[in-house]
Structure 1
């Protein structure tokens, strides 16, 4: 992980709040994931976790899951090869599909989430007389995907769809699964669906795309956030089906979370009703720890004293003191963590939040109160620091055009 001296230099040069994505950490992690799973497993990056990592992911994964027209536009700008894109998403608009087919030559594979989606894709492909590969997404009991009966219907009628190549099955049932048993049961369930399609309809599933939802450990006291033991158990389970299908594993959080760092400096300190409050220049609009409960859990953090002259009157508290870390939003909900011990905290000091490489950068309530979006930087030992997005004002988005 990036040396604290480097993070201090970044904060001084570029300001806070800022995200810093450690590309060395990202690369090391994905290589380790690939080594455990084996060369026969395709890795697919769910770019919704962090679209700013798409360029860095190019040499590390084989595919990119795209779930919206905006994400597809990012892939176009990043020059992602179209045959590496899995075009997913619960709402596929006809105009967007036409753009993909007419202007981009189509993509590697399309997922099917409903009969309506299938009809749109079939119509667009048939009109152009091009064959497209599809994965039928099986639902796990929510608004996503198809019932098994609908999948059987499509497979039984597959001969009448001249321009649809039914390549296989796709499933994603959720994130942060704590027990390997749930994942193992899902593998058995999906393998059973494939066996049923073969026995009843003579259809051979060629590709199985699965999102395992492996967990990341965000909170103390468990700061061992690699979860590679569970990954190894998962890999062992895959041994039973490796020879049956081409397996693609779609992951976002598990790949990206550990490479992200969020830098924020203390803007104010005070004590109200015997509670110590530390106001930082960031907030919950920038930080999102999955599983945080009323700010009671302690995420992995570091604290750095910065060289600054504090000319303001402040209630100085010497020694290690628990602080409620609150952001700059004018809402009582903007509490990031309660009772975080800080040693001789002063205005201008910096708190470093780790494991924010997934979702925080795009999932926060960014437009609330029209505060600026943070700078985004990447770091690696060869190219050092790159500013890949400056801070952005949101007041124009939040007001009518005059």
Structure 2
């Protein structure tokens, strides 16, 4: 966004605040569709930013929901249940029952236990639902190849579910695309092995490529869609064998987000210039940031005409030495009352922050629908009631 508009937001709404540009995320998905060319489907992992759910429900093919709370958000927003893929670990009978009653028909299974739970609850409601067993990729998620094959070998034990294929996700922010290429080759071979061993077709693959996005100074912002372009041909090859969906969160939403915070106190201690802002690490989080050593893209919104360059350590309002947003950044004429707009924070930051620490106020959240048109998605909220003994 232009500095003029950011300054308008800062002055007419409270800081700290997040702004999520819905037009920007729509344009990004449109460009992704142009690359995909209809060869495979797009799924949005709502954990990346639940405030984008209504928009992403319109412009992507599926929404991945990974917790009972996320399902409750979808219910509150009246998301079409058939568009939901109910994923995530630790699915209980209560969770699956809630999803089943809402009308969710697409599930993943992290284990044989999940297979049993979904099958049992579906039978209770006399439903036939679709399920994708998740293949382990070297972490706590998913099941072994042996367990996966035991499902295919004993499908008669799950009469209330249709095993549609495989769910596979290995990690996020993976910059070397040869990893995704190897995984896609592995999935192609696995499909052949299942077809040969069990004489049955694998119909669907839900694949999370974990494509990377640039975030800091020194990263390449020249073509942020390049990672998708790099693996498109291999995705297309897989899509000719199965009904393929790629599942992502960060890759869609990163660039739609801006966080505005106000400079409250500027001072020098032992040769270091410190600026205390009204936000902090309880709100703002970048994947890969370590104690503020990396510099994200920041727009400095001046309150005066001073342009003298100085190096600053930007710190938040928490009473901890860990609350350093940027350890060392050069800014021109920074003064109390100036605003700093941190860009590219549309993914995860709004929910990953340690909001309850020190009982600070939670930030305002705006949705930008067009230039100078905004919806207040959430007013500022106090966190202290959550940290207060309720029966004292």
**TM class by smaller structure:** over 0.9
Question: Deviations for 1:345-374, whole angstroms, at most 9, x for unmatched residues?
Answer: 110101110000000000011100000100
- Report the secondary structure of 2:215's partner residue: coil
Structure 2 residue aligned with 1:312: none
Structure 1 residue aligned with 2:370: 381
CA shift for structure 1 position 203: 2.2
Q: Is the 8 A contact 1:217 1:225 kept in 2?
A: no
Q: Is the 8 A contact 1:223 1:300 kept in 2?
A: no
Q: Is the 8 A contact 2:108 2:132 kept in 1?
A: yes
Please tell me whether residue 213 in structure 1 is matched to residue 202 in structure 2: no
Between stretches 132-141 and 382-391, larger displacement belongs to 382-391
Please tell me whether residue 7 in structure 1 is matched to residue 6 in structure 2: yes
Tell me how far apart the structure 1 counterparts of residues 171 and 25 of structure 2 sit (CA, whole Å): 22
For normalisation by structure 1, the TM-score amounts to: 0.94
Structure 2 residue aligned with 1:294: 291
Over 3 Å counting, the alpha-carbon distance change for 1:226 and 1:108 in structure 2 is farther
Tell me how far apart the structure 2 counterparts of residues 175 and 152 of structure 1 sit (CA, whole Å): 26
Between stretches 286-295 and 85-94, larger displacement belongs to 286-295
Structure 1: which 5+ runs fail to align?
309-316
Question: Deviations for 1:291-318, whole angstroms, at most 9, x for unmatched residues?
Answer: 113311111111011269xxxxxxxx97
Over 3 Å counting, the alpha-carbon distance change for 1:256 and 1:318 in structure 2 is closer
Give me the CA root mean square deviation: 1.5
Structure 2 residue aligned with 1:364: 353
Tell me how far apart the structure 2 counterparts of residues 295 and 217 of structure 1 sit (CA, whole Å): 16
Q: Is the 8 A contact 2:39 2:236 kept in 1?
A: no
* Partner of residue 328 from structure 1, selected from 317, 325, 342: 317
CA shift for structure 1 position 279: 0.6
Over 3 Å counting, the alpha-carbon distance change for 1:17 and 1:226 in structure 2 is farther
Q: Is the 8 A contact 1:168 1:208 kept in 2?
A: yes
Structure 1 residue aligned with 2:78: 79
For normalisation by structure 2, the TM-score amounts to: 0.97
Structure 1 residue aligned with 2:169: 172
Question: Deviations for 1:361-402, whole angstroms, at most 9, x for unmatched residues?
Answer: 000111000001000001122781111110000000001114
Over 3 Å counting, the alpha-carbon distance change for 1:225 and 1:325 in structure 2 is farther
Tell me how far apart the structure 1 counterparts of residues 260 and 2 of structure 2 sit (CA, whole Å): 13
Q: Is the 8 A contact 1:217 1:226 kept in 2?
A: no
Structure 2 residue aligned with 1:345: 334
Structure 2: which 5+ runs fail to align?
none
Question: Deviations for 1:255-296, whole angstroms, at most 9, x for unmatched residues?
Answer: 000000000010101111111111111001111111113311
- Report the secondary structure of 1:241's partner residue: helix
- Report the secondary structure of 1:59's partner residue: helix
Please tell me whether residue 156 in structure 1 is matched to residue 153 in structure 2: yes
Structure 1 residue aligned with 2:21: 22
Structure 1 residue aligned with 2:59: 60
Moved over 3 A (4+): none
Between stretches 240-249 and 120-129, larger displacement belongs to 120-129
- Report the secondary structure of 1:75's partner residue: helix
Structure 1 residue aligned with 2:88: 89
Structure 1 residue aligned with 2:128: 131
Structure 1 residue aligned with 2:99: 100
Over 3 Å counting, the alpha-carbon distance change for 1:86 and 1:285 in structure 2 is same
Over 3 Å counting, the alpha-carbon distance change for 1:18 and 1:253 in structure 2 is same
